[in-house]
Structure 1
Amino acid sequence: MLHLEAGDWRLTLQPELGGTIAALAYQGRDILRPTPPGATSPLETASFPLVPYANRIADGRFTVDGIDYHIPLNMSDQVHPLHGLGWLSGWAVEASDPVSAVLVHVHEGDERWPWAYRAEQHFTLEANGLRVSLSVENRDSKPMPAGLGFHPYFPADGTTRLTFDAQSVWLSTADLLPTKQASADHFADWSTGAAVARDTLIDNAYDGWSGTATIETADDIVLLAGEGTPYFHVFMPPGLGFYCAEPVSDLTNAINRGAPTMLAQGETRTVALSLTIGSGESH
């Protein structure tokens, strides 16, 4: 565990468990869902990084530069590989001080992902909140497709509301691959704010996201901002007491939906997430 502290903020990191956030608290209140003691899966943590791809790749199959690839499943209960490799790998602590840390994950290229890369997370805790950047550098001789994102879990109860603007939402197949676009208010009118406690599942990507969102709880107004993340994936499972609001660089299965973002050897792609406390006015 690695502990950072600035003002009213406390951040705990778990480099060895997928480079994850174990807890983020403001004035002693959990901003992210805290990781339970003894947790062994990144799915139990407060947040994990998505690298070198975000969300699902259909059947693990894709073609890049005329070469067909097939990567294996990385979770036994899923039908598509998802979320990349970073969350299932240990990260090294390259640097740290009381208010910041740099975590590094290096992949040499294998059947799970054919390209070699280096990923970095930079955590900075300040008096007004947390900023974390996530980057991936292609260290392979061949151009590499790359997608990035964040998978934070937020606590939810009957008072929690989420507000954000987007152009549309992608409806999905039963195995959670996007199929067609619908109006952004298809599930709820998030532009004016809506409750996150729901009776039915939402697990969908919002397109044309403005890059900001507001989370209203009984105690705080949390401002979420993404950089380099035009998509906003929302995961709201009924009755579990949490939801996920995920800034991501690409749509689910982007590598099979047209031209993915490609990195030349030595090229880097970066995204960022900020969580701060608002002044009391909603988004």
Structure 2
Amino acid sequence: MRIAAGDWQLDLDPHRGGMIRALTRQGRDILRPMPEGSTEPFESACFPLAPYVNRIAHGRFAWDGTAYTLAPNHEGQAHPLHGTAWLGAWDIEADDAHSVTQVHHHKAGTGWDWPFTLRQALSLSPDGLEARLELHNTGSRAMPVGLGFHPWFARSAVTAIAFEAEAVWLADADMLPTQTAPADALGDWSRGAGLERPDLVDHCYAGWGGALRISRTDGDVLLEGDAAPFLHLYVPPGEDFFCAEPQSTMPDAVNRMPPAPLSPGEMASIAMRIRNV
């Protein structure tokens, strides 16, 4: 399925995982394109994160006096990762030439003990992409919620990235957060820094300023987040992509910095924009 506006074009998988398959501007890849025929989310251009983001340590946490255990949900992963929506079925609720709204219904007990309905609205304008997630608690109990987006940016035309944050969470060998450090502990991104480095960056930045500038040889791009105080940065050495993920919570938040309860009937939301500067 494809939508377009101005110089921007977006391809998506309308029924599987809420995945974006490609995002281009003037025919050039802004997000890494998904291989033809692939259904693997880790090969996608972007997918939604809900009802939690990143990892939950060993799948164990307590909420409202009850202990819960989640099994790993993807091959090769030791901890449950990124929630349930990226692996689930979606339906088209509305669409036109420039926008599409998808909906995902989760029943309690399948990887998450609370039922919810999640909507993802994607819209293009001549300025770029706006994406919004809205999660509705359709159950009878309050639930923890973490929301985010996982865009995989094409790296070939990128010369530097720049953003402001208050701190970075250091991580152990399982990429689980351990302690905070000054935001420049892995490099001073506030001044703008290149992505060619020998070490892996797979860390969450707290107190994100809500904007990340991507300097490109064909014109800069701005990533923005609303209701996203955390930014998870993933820069693997030698790859043709990097990830900058706006998130409402940190990794393993239910064990470290629990989100406010989402009561029955209430909604949580997050938005992301990828646009011209």
TM-score normalised according to structure 2 size: 0.98
Q: Distance in 2 between matches of 1:213 and 1:89?
A: 29
Name the aligned partner's letter for residue 71 of structure 1. Answer: L
Counterpart position of 2:49: 50
| Structure 1 residue 229 corresponds to structure 2 residue 205 | no
Name the aligned partner's letter for residue 230 of structure 2. Answer: Y
Contact 2:223/2:275 (<8 A) preserved: yes
Q: Distance in 1 between matches of 2:69 and 2:110?
A: 8
Counterpart position of 1:69: 68
Name the aligned partner's letter for residue 38 of structure 1. Answer: G
Which sits farther off after the overlay, 114-123 or 157-166?
157-166
Structure 1 segments of 4+ aligned residues over 4 angstroms from their partners: none
The DSSP-based 3-state class of the residue aligned with 2:47 is strand
Counterpart position of 2:4: 5
Q: Distance in 2 between matches of 1:51 and 1:129?
A: 23
Contact 2:199/2:236 (<8 A) preserved: yes
Matches within 5 A, 1:139-178: 139-157=138-156, 159-178=158-177
Q: Give the C-alpha shift of residue 35 in structure 1.
A: 0.7
Q: Give the C-alpha shift of residue 15 in structure 1.
A: 2.1
Q: Distance in 2 between matches of 1:242 and 1:143?
A: 37
Contact 1:106/1:118 (<8 A) preserved: yes
Q: Deviations over 1:18-54 (max 9, x none)?
A: 1111111111111100111111211101000000101
Q: Deviations over 1:101-137 (max 9, x none)?
A: 1000000111410000000001111111110101111
Q: Deviations over 1:169-201 (max 9, x none)?
A: 110011011111111111111001001122110
Contact 2:157/2:218 (<8 A) preserved: no
| Structure 1 residue 100 corresponds to structure 2 residue 99 | yes
Q: Deviations over 1:130-157 (max 9, x none)?
A: 1010111111101111000000001113
TM-score normalised according to structure 1 size: 0.96
Q: Distance in 1 between matches of 2:214 and 2:110?
A: 40
Q: Give the C-alpha shift of residue 277 in structure 1.
A: 1.0
Q: Which runs of 5+ in 2 are unaligned?
A: none
Contact 1:72/1:111 (<8 A) preserved: no
Q: Distance in 2 between matches of 1:169 and 1:105?
A: 32
Which sits farther off after the overlay, 108-117 or 142-151?
108-117
Counterpart position of 2:274: 275
Counterpart position of 1:244: 243
- Among the aligned pairs, what percent are the same residue? 46
Q: Give the C-alpha shift of residue 16 in structure 1.
A: 2.3
In structure 2, relative to structure 1, the CA distance for the partners of 1:258 and 1:169 (3 Å cut) is closer
Contact 2:250/2:257 (<8 A) preserved: no
Q: Distance in 2 between matches of 1:10 and 1:91?
A: 21
Which sits farther off after the overlay, 97-106 or 109-118?
109-118
The DSSP-based 3-state class of the residue aligned with 1:31 is strand
Counterpart position of 1:256: 255
Contact 1:15/1:90 (<8 A) preserved: no
Counterpart position of 1:281: none
Q: Which runs of 5+ in 1 are unaligned?
A: 279-283
The DSSP-based 3-state class of the residue aligned with 2:58 is helix
Q: Distance in 2 between matches of 1:201 and 1:99?
A: 37
Counterpart position of 1:121: 120
How well do the aligned residues superpose, as a CA RMSD in angstroms?
1.1
